[in-house]
Chain A
Amino acid sequence: MTGARSRKPAGKPVADPQSLSEAVAAARPRLSRLRLPGGTPVEAVCAAFLLLLVLLALFVDFIPGLASPNFPYGDFSQPPDLTLNGILGTDAIGRSILSRVLYGARTSISIVFFATLISLGFGLLFGMVAGFYRGSVERAVDLYANTMASLPPILVILALVASTGSSVFTITVALGILDIGTYARVAKGGVISQSNRDYILAARAMGASDARLLLKEILPNLVPALTAIVPTLMAGLIITEGSLSFLGYGIPAPAPSWGGMIASSTDLLSRYPLLIFGPVLAIVITVYALNTVGDYFARRLSSRERQG
């Protein structure tokens, strides 16, 4: 209370508690929580790139003058020129590579987004229950997470997709299953470390139900740790999805996808080497940006923990 009082503006005498509290409120910095501190310029550029990519993927239909990704718009295998559609060249049947990269971004982003929703949802559910109740639930979740972690992800995906047939839906679900174990482990560890704190005991002493403890007390405290791993795992999904398309088990043919484009341009790599750059750059930059943003969150998390 003394601390709060000393913060009021010195020259302004306050008589009643009402104006005192107003003075205190005025002296308090309000927007300090909204700043994103401690980011490097590279991290800012990466975050901006990801934002731009999402916007492009959402609104690619409205880009004026952009050719259709599915029909030829000019000569085949043209090197890059300075027109909008030709800036990354044209592919083996004359489609605009830029257009295909952008529409491919839509496919990749939506697959990665929904796969992450699946793995985050189930991972949190299993992980939190395992961390809270321990016992046999925990052993089952550990077994699942360890098994998934010990299998090569591409094999798991191939097995799943090969057995169900490849479509956007099955690929999304298969990629979603891949990371459930990882999210479950992070959630479990977080719940275990939070459960030992007195605030959980205090909430229990107030009569909080298990559901309330998990959702209202513990879950908000898991958000920082999850924010740090989500971008990194998303980057892994982009690579896996690309590899899957490259191997021919990805998004079925006419639809544009980054991995599929790389696969088809490898056939002509010796004659038209420039044409592989578009999809490769798209994957490399996106994955790099996701990892950088993930590192940024991880660093902020650890510095916040050091502050207490």
Chain B
Amino acid sequence: MSQNKMPAAGPLKADPVLEVRGLSVTFTRSGKEFRAVDNVFFSVEAGETLGLVGESGSGKTTIGRALLRLLTSAGTSIDGQVLYRGRDLSALSRAEMRKLRGRLQMIFQDPVSSFNPRRKVEDIVAEGLDIQGFPKAERAERIEAALAAVGFNRALVAGRRPHQFSGGQCQRIAIARALAVEPDLIVCDEPVASLDVSVQAHIINLLQDIRADRKLGLIFISHDLAVVKNVSDKVAVLYMGKIVEVGTGAQIYDRPAHPYTRTLLEAVPVVDASRKLVPERERSLKPSRMRPPSGCAFRTRCPRASDKCAEREPLLSPAPGGQLVACHHPHDEPAPGLKAAAA
């Protein structure tokens, strides 16, 4: 039944929940400029998951926070547009933005620190409803429903505090808190990175079910390619604040075109040592973000770098696998063994 209701694949889909056009974030600290996010484009449809992957410092978290306008304003300039159902968030007044906040929610890496230590679980889940000014009668119903959606019974959590729950349970409470205000989009910032592997699967499945049930858009931020592969319809690979490759999960994982994507896939630990991909050559250290190299930011670490890479910055263009890649010398052969390694 759901088969024919699935939206058609391809870039031409109408009415995305969130569309990002040319988002750049620049931090200025004691006179030095630091471009954390550089001219990023993407969109998320209802019921779709976009995975944002990259190493630490690649700007993943900054993108997530910039989307929801959660970055502190001092020393930060944000350019470009973030459109929620066609409305530019940066054009909204503070009051208008506050009203809209219920529609866009966030889940954090460490659920425990994302709860006010002095609150009870019910009050944590109720917080968004309280802030958004829902009438008392409606609140109880919504809290009940949100807790039920993550497998909790309200009576069971009544009167308890977060520290009485395990990490996975706390992450479920965090999901319930986000769901209570019935958002259209949830930014999940490394939601499983602090959890045991067995619990990770549970949380990921839960997020997937909720996304399908409620037609939610999810932005799934992670450094872990294996995790992102399992959840994402679309994957964007970030390097030094730029999207270097973007496509469907299958395109990225079966035929990674950007050398950086390959590097990331090689870094996925493999149990079977014979299937481990051997890096093409030793790579140099990551260049400083304060003084990015000319041309392609990855060229100093890239085994395929040429003179052209130093002269001209590569732009996103179609790769043989069907995805978009920002590289002058993309890989065009499938990656044998990569699939197994990433799975």
Please give the residue numbers on chain A whose beta carbons come within 8 Å of chain B beta carbons, in ascending order: 1, 3-4, 17-18, 20-21, 24-25, 28, 134-135, 197-199, 201-209, 212, 217, 220-221, 308
Query: Counting chain B CB atoms within 10 Å of each CB, which of A3, A28, A205 scores highest?
Result: A205
**Complex Cα gap A221–B68 (Å):** 25
B128 at the interface (CB under 8 A from A): yes
If the complex has contacts A28-B159, A221-B116, A221-B118, are A205 and B70 also in contact, measured as CB distance less than 8 A? Answer: yes
**Complex Cα gap A150–B180 (Å):** 51
Choose the segment among B36-44, B161-169, B222-230, B290-298 that binds chain A (4+ C-beta atoms closer than 8 Å): B161-169
Whether A17 and B153, one on each chain, are in contact in the complex, defined by CB atoms closer than 8 angstroms, is: yes
If the complex has contacts A198-B110, A199-B113, A201-B114, are A207 and B102 also in contact, measured as CB distance less than 8 A? Answer: yes
CB neighbours (8 Å) of A25 from chain B are: 155, 158-159
Residue-wise, chain B 164-193 has the 8 Å CB interface mask toward A (1 for contact) of: 111001000010010001000000000000
Known: A199-B115, A202-B115, A205-B101. 7 other contacts (CB 8 A): A3-B164, A198-B108, A201-B114, A206-B105, A206-B127, A220-B116, A308-B112
CB neighbours (8 Å) of B112 from chain A are: 308
B132 at the interface (CB under 8 A from A): yes
CB neighbours (8 Å) of B330 from chain A are: none
Q: Of A3, A205, A209, which is within 8 A of B68 by CB?
A: A205
CB neighbours (8 Å) of B174 from chain A are: 202
Closest 9 interchain pairs by CB? A21-B155, A207-B101, A198-B114, A207-B98, A206-B128, A198-B108, A205-B106, A199-B116, A206-B131
**Complex Cα gap A135–B75 (Å):** 11
CB neighbours (8 Å) of B151 from chain A are: 1
In the assembled complex, the CB of A303 is this many whole angstroms from the nearest CB of chain B, namely: 14
CB neighbours (8 Å) of A4 from chain B are: 156-157, 160
- For residue A203, which residue of chain B has the nearest CB? B127
- For residue A218, which residue of chain B has the nearest CB? B116
Whether A1 and B152, one on each chain, are in contact in the complex, defined by CB atoms closer than 8 angstroms, is: yes
Interface size class of B (residues with CB under 8 A): 35 or more
In the assembled complex, the CB of A182 is this many whole angstroms from the nearest CB of chain B, namely: 24
Query: Counting chain B CB atoms within 10 Å of each CB, which of A201, A207, A209 scores highest?
Result: A207
Whether A202 and B177, one on each chain, are in contact in the complex, defined by CB atoms closer than 8 angstroms, is: yes
In the assembled complex, the CB of B92 is this many whole angstroms from the nearest CB of chain A, namely: 12
**Complex Cα gap A205–B169 (Å):** 21
CB neighbours (8 Å) of B181 from chain A are: 206
User: 5 interchain pairs (CB within 8 A)?
Assistant: A4-B156, A201-B114, A205-B68, A207-B99, A207-B131
CB neighbours (8 Å) of A3 from chain B are: 164-166, 169
Whether A21 and B113, one on each chain, are in contact in the complex, defined by CB atoms closer than 8 angstroms, is: no
Q: Of A1, A201, A208, which is within 8 A of B131 by CB?
A: A208
If the complex has contacts A18-B155, A21-B158, A199-B113, are A206 and B118 also in contact, measured as CB distance less than 8 A? Answer: no
**Complex Cα gap A205–B159 (Å):** 25
Whether A212 and B131, one on each chain, are in contact in the complex, defined by CB atoms closer than 8 angstroms, is: yes
Whether A202 and B118, one on each chain, are in contact in the complex, defined by CB atoms closer than 8 angstroms, is: no
CB neighbours (8 Å) of A208 from chain B are: 131
Whether B108 and A202, one on each chain, are in contact in the complex, defined by CB atoms closer than 8 angstroms, is: yes
B74 at the interface (CB under 8 A from A): yes
Interface of chain A, main secondary structure: helix
CB neighbours (8 Å) of A1 from chain B are: 151-153, 156, 169
Q: Of A21, A28, A135, A209, which is within 8 A of B153 by CB?
A: A21
**Complex Cα gap A21–B131 (Å):** 28
In the assembled complex, the CB of B135 is this many whole angstroms from the nearest CB of chain A, namely: 16
**Complex Cα gap A247–B5 (Å):** 88
Q: Of B100, B117, B131, B159, which is within 8 A of A203 by CB?
A: B131
Whether B177 and A134, one on each chain, are in contact in the complex, defined by CB atoms closer than 8 angstroms, is: no
B104 at the interface (CB under 8 A from A): yes
CB neighbours (8 Å) of B99 from chain A are: 207
If the complex has contacts A21-B155, A199-B116, A308-B163, are A134 and B74 also in contact, measured as CB distance less than 8 A? Answer: yes
Whether A209 and B165, one on each chain, are in contact in the complex, defined by CB atoms closer than 8 angstroms, is: no
**Complex Cα gap A135–B129 (Å):** 32
If the complex has contacts A25-B158, A212-B131, A217-B116, are A205 and B152 also in contact, measured as CB distance less than 8 A? Answer: no
**Complex Cα gap A199–B113 (Å):** 6
Whether A204 and B108, one on each chain, are in contact in the complex, defined by CB atoms closer than 8 angstroms, is: no
In the assembled complex, the CB of B22 is this many whole angstroms from the nearest CB of chain A, namely: 23
CB neighbours (8 Å) of B110 from chain A are: 198
CB neighbours (8 Å) of A198 from chain B are: 108-110, 113-114
In the assembled complex, the CB of A32 is this many whole angstroms from the nearest CB of chain B, namely: 11
**Complex Cα gap A257–B117 (Å):** 43
In the assembled complex, the CB of A44 is this many whole angstroms from the nearest CB of chain B, namely: 26
**Complex Cα gap A201–B99 (Å):** 16
CB neighbours (8 Å) of A28 from chain B are: 159-160
- For residue B180, which residue of chain A has the nearest CB? A206
CB neighbours (8 Å) of B169 from chain A are: 1, 3
Whether A204 and B127, one on each chain, are in contact in the complex, defined by CB atoms closer than 8 angstroms, is: no
- For residue B107, which residue of chain A has the nearest CB? A202
Q: Of B102, B155, B164, which is within 8 A of A206 by CB?
A: B102
**Complex Cα gap A25–B154 (Å):** 12
CB neighbours (8 Å) of B159 from chain A are: 25, 28
CB neighbours (8 Å) of B128 from chain A are: 206-207
CB neighbours (8 Å) of A308 from chain B are: 112, 163
**Complex Cα gap A205–B151 (Å):** 24
Q: Of B108, B156, B163, which is within 8 A of A21 by CB?
A: B156
CB neighbours (8 Å) of A220 from chain B are: 116, 118
- For residue B151, which residue of chain A has the nearest CB? A1
**Complex Cα gap A3–B168 (Å):** 12
In the assembled complex, the CB of B330 is this many whole angstroms from the nearest CB of chain A, namely: 37
**Complex Cα gap A221–B181 (Å):** 25
CB neighbours (8 Å) of A17 from chain B are: 153, 155
Whether A207 and B116, one on each chain, are in contact in the complex, defined by CB atoms closer than 8 angstroms, is: no
In the assembled complex, the CB of A131 is this many whole angstroms from the nearest CB of chain B, namely: 13
**Complex Cα gap A206–B100 (Å):** 9
CB neighbours (8 Å) of B152 from chain A are: 1
